[in-house]
Structure 1
Amino acid sequence: MKTTLVSKGESGTVQGTVVDVPQPSASSLQPTQLLIKVHVSGSNPKDWKIPCFVPQLNNTNSGDDVGGTVAAVGSKVSEFRVGDRVSAFHEMTTEHGSFAEYAVVWEHTTFHIPETTSFEEAASIPLAAMTAAVGLFTSLGLPEPWNHDVLTRERSKGGVAVYGAASAVGAYVVKLLRKAEIHPIICVAGNGIDFVEGLIDRSKGDTIIDYRKGGDAIVSGLKSAIPSGQTLRYAYDAVSDHGSYGYLCQVLDTKAPGGAHLTVVLPGKKFEGIPEGVNLTITMVGSVHKPVNRDFGYAWFRLFGQGLKDGWFTPHPHEVVPGGLGGVGEGLSRLQNGKVSAKKMVFRIADTEGVTSSKI
């Protein structure tokens, strides 16, 4: 089968090489694994960052977002059958990722998609949406939609700041906050402001702050958006760079009982200057492939599938990059160079036809 290996080029730019490798067999699956025929692969910033910054993972298939059909199932798989339309989150940094004709995934991070959801849309969901859920409900400890405890919800009355609300992770954060009925949602965005406007509810105090106006405007905008008599205790930083967390720390209520809560999404980065009274967590979406958050991931992936049917949950906007697996390098290069806003780069595997590959 064809797969794309992602590597760091001599100039430091990411590149993709299409090669022929053996196709995983049904007999090689572990009991709760599935073999997926990949129709569309999504992409994420970490798909170029890992090969470029982690030498031992250079020149590997770094894709993890799958939209496709079930080709085979392990001996203990009970929820899926061959031919089912699914979306799945491949376990990061393991073999048989999504930049290939076939991928291997775990049952608990796979979910059914309705006929009304295209494979392109499905491929925009897994990693980013689960990052949003893990960050909100485990890292920040905000109440999930079914938790109506008065004391739990009292703490979030000052709202939640979402820095990078036009990104895939940020947009899913906004959608999940609305599902949980937590307002105001105080968004920080730039080129994607028009997109974010369609996600929020102004009647409930939601608002957007333009980061392009500079740090002082960001801080003053955040302060102005907090409801009268309340303080800001929660912030989700989906950017975690270019000073973003510093602006949030200037507004968070460090004197609140138990302190304020800030979660970021860049593992390995040194977050310096975090004031006393701000509880900093790093949201690790890979935790759903570990015992600590396995059940959480199982439940929320199924909620995403149900939400797609019910209409309260929607995929992120996407752009199909030409060339299928042959376009992976181009798509990731655009991510690396900051040329993507408010949409996902996705790759149709069928478009790979005619792309030259080499055997390894």
Structure 2
Amino acid sequence: MKAAVIDQYGQVRDVVRVADVPVPAVGPRDVLIEVRAAGVNPVDHLIVKGFLSAGAPTGPLVIGNELAGVVAEVGGEVTRFAVGDEVFARVDPRVGGAFAEYVAVDQSLVATKPSGLTFEEAASLPLVALTALQALTEQADVRAGTRVLIHGAAGGVGSAAVQIAKQLGAEVVATASAGSVELVRELGADRVIDYRAEKFDEIVSDVDVVLDTIGGETQERSFGVLKPGGTLVSIVPIPDAEAKQAQWNVRARSFYMRPHGEQLAHLAGLVESGQLRPILETVFPLDEASEALQKVERGGARGKTVIGVRA
């Protein structure tokens, strides 16, 4: 099968190639999925660069972390899916393998694809939507009446988070670039701040929860807009987190999402009910996986980049 692989860690443009590799073996609890499309995320280029691994690859490593496709084979202990089912999944991050014609995934990480979505749209959701859901409901306790500030609200995680926060009943303030203000407003944000024209920390205060997808100066300035006892949740590291918690009398939590098939099924239900929609920006063919990764690496995306694996 064709797959995007690396043989060593390094810069995306230097090490990512498309090669023929064996179809993965199917374990007793695995679902073999014929991949139709795979989502591209910042974590993918970090993996390529070796930031998340202690040792070198031991042969061609198939990259990619989320996908949508059709079940081609099931292991002997699989009870939730059958050949021909249309599904989507966030794969085990220790295994990867989504940028390929086939991938084997434990059934616990798989959910039925929302029927109203294309494979490309469905492939754009698992990682970002699970991240947003877990950030808002597990790392924070967002519910009706919670005031939430979401940074990077036009990006993958941010756009999902705006919609999920509104579904939970929160008041949502969001930051985005001028060209994305109207999109974020359409997603349900009660107030959208053009971060280039206005300083959010000069016009927003008494926030219960900040979801930070940016880091750096944006993260630093976000502590000052929280209520005492509020929570800053970040998908990037928080330097000196304990000291900042004490200084501002808040909670500061950096986390990395985990795959979860039941939560993914819940998110599929939100899609079916019209409460969550994917924001898809660009689709690349598998042969241009390196270009897709480089686009995500450059940042500034409005929605998700996806690799179309099969028509």
Settle same-fold status: TM greater than 0.5: yes
Aligned-residue offset at 1:264: 0.4
Whichever residue aligns with residue 167 of structure 1, its letter is: G
| Structure 2 counterpart of 1:248, one-letter code | S
Deviation of 1:188 after TM superposition, in Å, equals: 1.1
So what's the TM-score if we normalise by structure 2? 0.89
Counterpart of 2:217, as a letter, is: G
3-state SS of the aligned residue for 2:226? coil
Q: Which amino acid aligns with 2:232?
A: L
- In the alignment, which of 208, 224, 233 is matched to residue 263 of structure 1? 233
Corresponding residue number in structure 2 for 1:88: 89
Secondary structure (helix, strand or coil) at the match of 1:172 reads helix
The alpha-carbon deviation at position 207 of structure 1 amounts to 0.3
Instruction: Indicate whether 1:161 and 2:155 are aligned.
Output: no
Q: Which 5+ residue runs of structure 2 have no aligned equivalent? A: none
Q: Specify the alignment match of 2:23 in structure 1.
A: 23
**1:246–1:274 Cα contact (<8 Å) kept:** no
Which residue in the other structure is 2:255 paired with?
A: 283
1:192-271 alignment, distance < 5 Å: 192-200=180-188, 206-213=190-197, 217-223=199-205, 231-239=206-214, 241-254=215-228, 259-267=229-237, 270-271=239-240
Normalized against structure 1, the TM-score is what?
A: 0.78
Quote the offset at 1:109 in angstroms.
1.9
- Taking structure 1 as reference, are residues 305 and 164 closer, same or farther at Cα in structure 2, changes over 3 Å only? same
Query: Which structure 2 residues correspond to residues 75-154 of structure 1 after superposition, within 5 A?
Result: 75-95=76-96, 97-143=97-143, 153=144
Contact map agreement 2:234 2:255 (CA 8 A) in 1: yes
Bigger Rg over Cα: 1
In structure 1, how many angstroms separate the alpha carbons of the residues matched to 2:277 and 2:160?
9
> Contact 1:109–1:298 (CA<8 Å) still a contact in 2?
yes
Asked if 1 retains the 8 angstrom alpha-carbon contact of 2:9 and 2:56, the reply is: no
Alignment partner of 1:66: what SS?
strand
Deviation at 1:300, TM superposition (A): 1.8
Pair 77,131 (structure 1): closer, same or farther in 2 beyond 3 Å: same
1:300 matched residue in structure 2 = 263
Asked if the contact 1:15/1:330 (under 8 Å) is kept, the reply is no
Q: Distance in 2 between matches of 1:199 and 1:306?
A: 17
Aligned partner of 1:347 in structure 2 is: 307
Aligned partners of 1:105, 1:161: CA distance in 2, in Å?
Answer: 35
Q: What amino acid sits opposite 1:332 in the alignment?
A: L
Instruction: Report the secondary structure of 2:216's partner residue.
Output: coil
| Contact 2:280–2:305 (Cα < 8 Å) also in 1 | no
Residue 63 in 1 paired to residue 67 in 2? no
Q: 1:40, 1:346 within 8 Å by CA — same for their partners in 2?
A: yes
Give, in whole Å, the separation in 1 of the partners of 2:103 and 2:121. 18
Query: Which residue of 36, 40, 44 corresponds with 1:39?
Result: 36
Corresponding letter in the other structure for 2:239: K
**Does the 8 Å contact 2:10/2:48 carry over to 1?**
no
Q: What's the offset of the Cα at 1:271?
A: 4.8
RMSD of equivalent CA atoms: 2.2
Structure 2: which amino acid aligns with 1:270? P
Structure that is richer in strand per residue:
2
Please give the alpha-carbon distance, in whole angstroms, between the structure 2 residues aligned to 1:278 and 1:83: 49
Contact 1:121 1:318 in 2 (8 A): no
CA distance in 2, matches of 1:271, 1:245: 12
The aligned amino acid for 1:77 is V
Listed one character per residue, the Cα deviations across residues 259-283 of structure 1 (whole Å, up to 9, x for unaligned) are 111110025x635662421211112
Paired residues of 1:209 and 1:221 also in contact (CA < 8 A): no
1 CA distance for matches of 2:253 and 2:32?
A: 34
Quote the Cα distance in structure 1 between the aligned partners of 2:240 and 2:234: 9
* Identical pairs, percent: 27
For 1:23, what is the secondary structure of its paired residue?
Answer: coil
Q: Is the 8 A contact 1:51 1:57 kept in 2?
A: no
Aligned partner letter, 1:178 = K
In the aligned structure 1, how far is the partner of 2:167 from the partner of 2:56? 37
Alignment-derived partner of residue 186 in structure 1: 173
Q: Matches of 2:225 and 2:114 in 1, distance apart? A: 42
Task: Measure the CA separation in 2 of the matches of 1:197 and 1:88.
Answer: 28
Secondary structure at the residue paired with 1:315? Answer: coil
Paired with 2:52 and 2:164, the residues of 1 have a C-alpha distance of 32
Per the TM alignment, residue 285 of structure 1 is displaced from its structure 2 partner at its CA by 0.8
8 Å contact kept, 2:13–2:290: no
**Per-residue displacement from partner, 1:202-260 (whole Å, max 9, x unpaired)?**
xxxx101122136xx2211223xxxxxxx322111122x23111121011123xxxx11
The SS at the match of 1:63 is coil
Aligned residues: 302
Question: CA separation of 1:20/1:129 partners in 2, compared to 1, >3 Å: closer, same or farther?
Answer: same
CA distance in 2, matches of 1:212, 1:61: 38
